[in-house]
Amino acid sequence: MGLLKKNFIFQDVNELKGVGTKLSRYLKNKKIEKIKDIILHLPYSETDRSKISELNQLEIGKIQTIKVIVKKLNFPRIRNLPNRIMCEDDTGKIDIIYFNSREGYLRKIFPLNETVIISGKVNFFRNKYQITNPDYVTTIDNQEYVAKNIPKYNLTKGINEKKYRQISEQVTQNLPVIEDWLSEKFIKQNNLLNWNDAIKKLHNSDESKNNKSKSFRRIVFDEICANFLTLSENRKRIKKEKKNKVFNEIYAKRIIKQLPFQLTKSQKKVLDEINIDLKSKERMFRIIQGDVGSGKTIVSLISMANVIEAKYQCALMGPTEILSLQHYELAKKIFKNSSIKVEFLSGKTDPIKKREILSGIKNGEINLLIGTHALFQKKINFKKLGFVVIDEQHKFGVKQRSELAQKGGSNCDVLLMSATPIPRTMMMSNYGDMDISKITEKPAHRKKIITLSKPEKKIQELWPFIKKQVNEGNQIFWVCPLIEESQFLDFSSAKRKFDLINKKFPNLVGLIHGSLKKEEKENIIKSFLTKKISILVSTTVIEVGIDFPNANLIVIENANKFGLSQLHQLRGRVGRGTKQGMCMLLFKEGLSKNAVKRIKILKNSDDGFYIAEEDLKLRGFGDLTGYQQSGNKNFKFADPIIHEDLFKLAEKYIYQTDKYSDQSKYNFLLKLFDKAEIINIKEF
């Protein structure tokens, strides 16, 4: 095939010899579509075929390699009977069995009275060793190709080890010499390998199994750098655009004075950070991280007041209609004594009302529009949009953030809000394109939630307490854990719990599960919000951010099945009003050490940031519940715990050391890790 050219790496796999339509379809099942995907599809182990065994040393059920003489070929003419090749060495005999193989092909690879090397799984049938459909059959002069440790890849139906090895070796043995984006000095100083050597080692040794090996650490460093470069480039592009806004903070200060409560020090600090950005000539691209109930929305609404005073419009987008409606109600309270006109828009808005709103947005009568993603439909045209706030933005990746920033134009500032505290390493690798603000305090009137734990076998002791809560007009969440990927099993488990509780409290119980349509789910939540039901049984995490002021108790079954951060998020659903909130963790006996630690941490702390860090330490990046589902797990090789030093090194390298160099040298790297499209890099 000759040496591959650099851009060949980004071509389709069917450009490779031996890869036709059928095989490329099988490869696609493993997400291998481009030649670069073969480079990044690392072996997870090795198959040891290195030892040549004599026939009297064979072990049944093991993959073994033998050197034998072909003595006889038997091709039955009766349908469905297998072809049989009888072989022997000085110590014994063996049959090689083939189903559905052509006679001509077998005669070619098994020449009579010649010595061949065979490797495959050994079985025993009718007092004789046999290998059925061996993985390898080759001549004695090709022994070195078979009798060795062979990389083992995670494959799919339709591709065997031998075939994939031929494809993989076509690429790895003919890699183009890529000009390294790291200097030799940097590679040596940080105990890494150059790119070409690292890739070859990862595919031809056991280094891919060792996430601390030099070659593995090199590909991890590259992956982190590609991630940080994308964020850095996105940030540069946003900050390049200059805006022209002039306003002061008088209006907002007036609104703060009228609030029926005091802002916390943390809220004031974040408000100052936002105001500095709003007054700056550079566009704001900031995220507020704040624990459940820390008052992020109030801060964002107050910051809008100055923008509106400067004759610009604002938009606040929430993930669901219920949460967006709550923001709308809060905005009306905050701006009730002002001239600010606030409207609400969702997919369910009445068509006549919707036309009015569209007109009011276009002519500038509406100052603040709150709603769901419907806010960003093409037909919605703001007269002068100056500030966009997005709540619970975890579904927005870098690409969506970039598109959103463009939609508002160069005069539009962007603020994201997240109620999910994220460990620093992840924060850095997901939001490196943004400025980060943290609200670390809870409002003074908010009482600390009392967290208790109880073995599930003592559940009977709970009923009198729940009855008392219901009689006092309080509401209760009852959370059942997901059993497995089966929605039916999860539904039946929650349904049984619902039936049990409903017998004790007839017509006062609602049920939410994964099979419900969005509208049905929202209707049940509304019934709970309007106190039509007192107990809500749920298999899913109750919507983050929604304020249930009357819910004071949450019962979490099988609490050891949830991660720490998830338990903390669930706990934050209660105690939002003036009454004391309580969280009851039910668990099965025989907890692991980690489960005991998690429960202890949760009982002793209500600091979401501390809890997120501890969760990461205890559970590990790969197992962190909720992280993958949120769309944030954007690393194939890097692990923020195992490779924490590489994250720090990459951060220093991208944001400090290499800040003034020619960024085009990284285009190949960005394309390799599918980042080029995000920041519109076409050439490399």
Residues 411 and 474 in one domain: no
Residues 533 and 661 in one domain: no
- Listed in sequence order, the DSSP H helices in 241-283 are 250-258, 265-279
Token pair of 431, please? 């939001």
User: Residue 53 pLDDT > 50, yes or no?
Assistant: yes
pLDDT of residue 629: 34
Mean pLDDT on 300-310: 91
38 domain-assigned:
no
User: Residue 486 pLDDT > 60, yes or no?
Assistant: no
Going by DSSP bridges, is the β-strand pair 115-125/63-74 parallel, antiparallel, or unpaired? antiparallel
Residues 68 and 128 in one domain: yes
Among the ranges given (18-22, 82-86, 142-146, 403-407), the one the predictor scored with the smallest mean pLDDT: 403-407
Q: Does residue 199 contact residue 169 with C-beta atoms inside 8 Å?
A: no
Return the sign of the alpha-carbon dihedral for residues 657, 660, 664, 667: positive
pLDDT digits (tens, 9 = 90+) for 91-129: 999 999 998 888 999 999 999 999 999 999 999 998 899
pLDDT of residue 359: 94
Residues 78 and 191 in one domain: no
406 domain-assigned:
yes
Looking up residue 87, the CATH number of its domain turns out to be 2.40.50.140
Phi and psi based region of residue 177 (left: phi greater than 0; alpha: psi -120 to 50; beta: remaining): beta
Q: Chain-centre distance of CA 584, in angstroms?
A: 29
C-alpha to C-alpha distance for 110 and 98, rounded to whole angstroms = 12
Count of C-beta atoms within a 10 Å radius of residue 54: 13
User: Residue 58 pLDDT > 90, yes or no?
Assistant: yes
Phi and psi based region of residue 66 (left: phi greater than 0; alpha: psi -120 to 50; beta: remaining): beta
**Contacts (Cβ under 8 Å, ≥6 apart) of 356:** none
Most confident of 70-84, 105-119, 143-157, 651-665: 105-119
Phi, psi of 616 (to 5 degrees): -65, -40
Token pair of 481, please? 């854990």
**Residue in 182, 9, 236, 199 with CA at minimum distance from that of residue 646:** 182
**Contacts (Cβ under 8 Å, ≥6 apart) of 473:** 531, 550
384 domain-assigned:
yes
Q: Does residue 433 contact residue 231 with C-beta atoms inside 8 Å?
A: yes
Residues 585 and 458 in one domain: yes
161 domain-assigned:
no
User: Residue 395 pLDDT > 60, yes or no?
Assistant: no
pLDDT digits (tens, 9 = 90+) for 493-520: 778 888 899 999 999 999 887 777 878 8
Domain boundary residue among 439, 466, 482? 439
Element containing residue 316 per DSSP (H, E): strand 313-317
Among the ranges given (391-400, 526-535, 661-670), the one the predictor scored with the smallest mean pLDDT: 391-400
pLDDT of residue 1: 38
C-alpha to C-alpha distance for 569 and 291, rounded to whole angstroms = 9
pLDDT digits (tens, 9 = 90+) for 431-455: 777 888 999 887 777 778 899 988 8
Residues 264 and 391 in one domain: yes
Average pLDDT, the chain: 84
Residues 258 and 219 in one domain: no
Going by DSSP bridges, is the β-strand pair 535-538/475-479 parallel, antiparallel, or unpaired? parallel
Mean pLDDT on 240-267: 82
Residues 482 and 557 in one domain: yes
547 domain-assigned:
yes
Mean pLDDT on 347-353: 88
Contacts 24+ apart (CB under 8 A), 510-516: 510/535, 510/536, 510/537, 511/536, 511/537, 511/538, 512/536, 512/537, 512/538, 512/539, 512/540, 512/542, 513/487, 513/538, 513/539, 513/540, 514/482, 514/487, 514/490, 514/539, 514/540, 515/487, 515/488, 515/491
Residues 62 and 115 in one domain: yes
- Listed in sequence order, the DSSP H helices in 311-397 are 321-334, 351-362
Domain boundary residue among 410, 439, 468? 439
360 class by beta-carbon count within 10 Å (0-12 exposed, 13-18 middle, 19+ buried): middle
Return the C-alpha torsion angle 362, 366, 371, 373, nearest 10. 20
Q: Does residue 518 contact residue 543 with C-beta atoms inside 8 Å?
A: no
Residue entry with tokens 């330490």: 617
Confidence of residue 628 (pLDDT cuts 50, 70, 90): very low
User: Residue 269 pLDDT > 90, yes or no?
Assistant: yes
pLDDT of residue 65: 95
Looking up residue 394, the CATH number of its domain turns out to be 3.40.50.300
Residues 77 and 187 in one domain: no
Mean pLDDT on 533-547: 74
What's the total number of domains in the chain?
4
Residues 395 and 434 in one domain: yes
Could you tell me where the beta strands, DSSP code E, fall in 200-312?
A: 285-290
pLDDT of residue 524: 87
Report the percent of the chain where pLDDT is more than 70: 89
b/e per residue 664-677 (b: at least 16 CB within 10 A): eebbbbbbbbbbbe
13 domain-assigned:
no
Mean pLDDT on 575-594: 82
pLDDT of residue 588: 81
Residue 656 per-residue DSSP state = I
C-alpha to C-alpha distance for 71 and 58, rounded to whole angstroms = 19
Report the percent of the chain where pLDDT is more than 90: 36
Return the sign of the alpha-carbon dihedral for residues 295, 297, 298, 302: positive
Going by DSSP bridges, is the β-strand pair 63-74/582-587 parallel, antiparallel, or unpaired? unpaired
Q: Does residue 392 contact residue 319 with C-beta atoms inside 8 Å?
A: yes
C-alpha to C-alpha distance for 652 and 656, rounded to whole angstroms = 5
423 domain-assigned:
yes
Regarding predicted confidence, which is higher, 464 or 403? 464
pLDDT of residue 539: 77
Regarding predicted confidence, which is higher, 316 or 598? 316
- Listed in sequence order, the DSSP H helices in 505-643 are 518-529, 564-571, 593-604, 608-619
83 domain-assigned:
yes
CA angle (531, 534, 536) in 5-degree steps: 110
The amino acid occupying position 235 is R
Regarding predicted confidence, which is higher, 544 or 309? 309
Q: Within 13 Å, how many C-alpha atoms sit on residue 506's CB side?
A: 0
Residues 222 and 111 in one domain: no
pLDDT digits (tens, 9 = 90+) for 157-186: 888 888 999 999 999 888 888 889 998 999
Confidence of residue 62 (pLDDT cuts 50, 70, 90): very high
- Listed in sequence order, the DSSP H helices in 81-183 are 103-109, 143-146, 161-172
Domain boundary residue among 439, 472, 506? 439
- Structural domain boundaries, residue 183: 177-240+645-684
pLDDT of residue 684: 34
User: Residue 682 pLDDT > 60, yes or no?
Assistant: no
pLDDT of residue 543: 57
Question: What count of residues does the chain have?
Answer: 684
